[in-house]
Structure 1
Amino acid sequence: MDILNGLPIHLFIFISLYFEVFLMITYMERRKLIKSEENQLSVGNLPSCTIIVPCFNEESTIANTLQSLLELDYPKNKLCIVAVNDGSTDETPLILKSYEKFENITIYHKENGGKHTALNLGLDKTQTELVGCLDADSYVHKDALKKIAVYFDDSDTMAVTPSIRVHNPKNIFEKIQNIEYNYGSFVRKIFSHMNCLYVTPGPFSIFRRSVFTDIGFYKPAHNTEDIEIALRMQSHKFKIKNCHKAFVDTTTPRTFVTLYKQRLRWTYGFIRNALDYKHMFFRREHGNLGLFALPLAPIYIISALYIMFTLLFNVLEYALEYIARVRVTGIQAGWPQFNLDWYFVNTDTKTFLWGVSLLLLVTIIILGHRFADKKVKLMDFVYTFILYGIISPSWLFISIYKTLFRKKTTWR
Structure 2
Amino acid sequence: MRRLLPSTLAGRIILVLLVGLMAFHVGSLWLHQTGSDILLGSTQQRVTAERVAAAARAVGMVPPEAREAVAQALSSPGFQVRWQPGAVEGTVAAEDLTITGHREAQGTVGLPEGGSLWYHADPLQAQPEHATLLSTTAMAVGILVLGLLVVRLIARPLRELSSAADRIGRPGQTVTVPEEGPREVRQAAQAFNRMQARIDRLIADRTQALAAVSHDLRTPLARLRLRAGFLDDAEVQQQIDADLDEMDAMIGSTLAYLRGDEEQEEVRSADIAAMLQTLCGDAEDMGKAVTYEGPPQARLPCRAIALKRAFANVIDNAVKYGTSARVVLADRGRELVIHVDDAGPGVPEEQLESVFQPFYRLEESRNRGTGGSGLGLAIARQAVGHHGGSVTLQNLAGGGLRASIRLPRLA
Q: TM-score, normalised by structure 2?
A: 0.23
* Bigger-Rg structure (1/2): 2
Higher RCO structure, 1 or 2 (CA under 8 Å, sep 6+)? 1
